[in-house]
A and B are shown apart, each in its own frame.
Chain A
């Protein structure tokens, strides 16, 4: 038995010498990056496809989502304001040559929120807080035209398609958050979920300027909303909602640039807002 022996073997023959945390970090970073790229690609693709959803379908979807739009106003004053907004919107929509099957519905809300939003189904919500910051009808028309442009460019449905694709991909990959999809669908009409990209905002600004120019013959006061916004942002307590918006200064500059290129820029007087539009 002399020829048989058990030699002492060195350690680490059968185990890779990598530290478990290094292995973990590499895997998480690599797979995470892949996942982000894949989800991003999916979201862009879904946005492209959502653009082709017929507007009637979008309206039906918006109608089926339940009571997420503001209640119709009940006081006569608010009804008068709503009527005024709708008339102005219809004039703008006429100037913008919207497709015939794309009606725009304005909803007036007496809330003090300084905002206006376009959402699914051609619904636009305007808050009293926004109207109070505007000096003239021209400024209000610019904001409305901007929101109409979002609807015309199908931005709300694109944003919805993207959000839906991302959520679907993440929840099916991770297997968690069964309730999240339903929650998201229920809250889809809310603005924070439908966020538009910077290029979509710029495109909407461009279209809106053209519409305002066509309707009034000049684009005076068009930058008024953004100027008011810039003043508010310089305050320490700026509302977080606006922080997602692209550079306000840049937008003001772009509007002024456009206005400077018009022959009769700023010479024509702005039309004042009717007295009933201002909060008492």
Chain B
């Protein structure tokens, strides 16, 4: 019985705090994306006018924890299959945050655009039993500024 109460409290805490964190994170992401719209990012490998530019490696990484509620819903989803919407929003946040941090680094180095950007994801605590787990997204690319 106490197990069940403990579980429900965890679920409620996970939902309340997880959703609050997610909402405010998305607000912050949208706000900062507007501010950094001047920094352009491309996955294109070949940089136009390469010989007139200076390139540096920039990267941004973020680690976001799964909350208890998301993990439980995803666990149920894994029984029946389908889109794991609980994790979709989590990864969306992580990707956009990583690109934003990379853009901020590019801004500090005085670059106007980042080329050849790549995204890497890693699951932290992968395979560890009874742990909540977290996801890391790393964005990196070549920031260029006029020579």
Contacts and interface: CB of A to CB of B under 8 A. Distances in A.
Contact of B40 (A6, A20, A30, A176): A6
A28 to B, nearest CB: 7
Contacts of A15: 85, 88-89, 92
B41 A27 contact: no
B134 interface: no
A27 B73 contact: yes
Contacts of A4: 40, 42, 44, 48, 113
17 contacts: A5-B40, A8-B37, A11-B30, A14-B88, A14-B92, A15-B85, A15-B89, A15-B92, A16-B83, A20-B69, A20-B86, A23-B85, A24-B72, A27-B77, A27-B80, A28-B76, A31-B79
Contacts of B80: 27, 30-31
Contacts of B19: 20
A18 interface: yes
A15 B92 CA distance: 7
A20 B73 contact: yes
A24 B73 contact: yes
A1 B77 CA distance: 45
Contact of A18 (B37, B48, B85, B92): B85
Interface of B: 3, 15, 19, 30, 37, 40-42, 44, 48-49, 69-70, 72-73, 76-77, 79-80, 83, 85-86, 88-89, 91-92, 113
A13 to B, nearest CB: 9
Most interface-central of B15, B69, B73 (chain A CB within 10 A): B73
Interface of A: 1, 4-6, 8, 11, 14-16, 18, 20-21, 23-24, 27-28, 30-31, 176-177
Contacts of B30: 11
Contacts of A16: 83, 85, 88
A1 B79 CA distance: 49
- Closest 3 CB pairs between A and B? A16-B85, A27-B76, A15-B89
A23 B73 CA distance: 8
A176 B15 CA distance: 23
Contacts of A8: 37
B26 to A, nearest CB: 8
B67 to A, nearest CB: 10
Given A21-B15, A23-B85, A177-B3, 7 more contacts: A16-B83, A16-B85, A20-B73, A20-B86, A23-B73, A24-B73, A27-B73
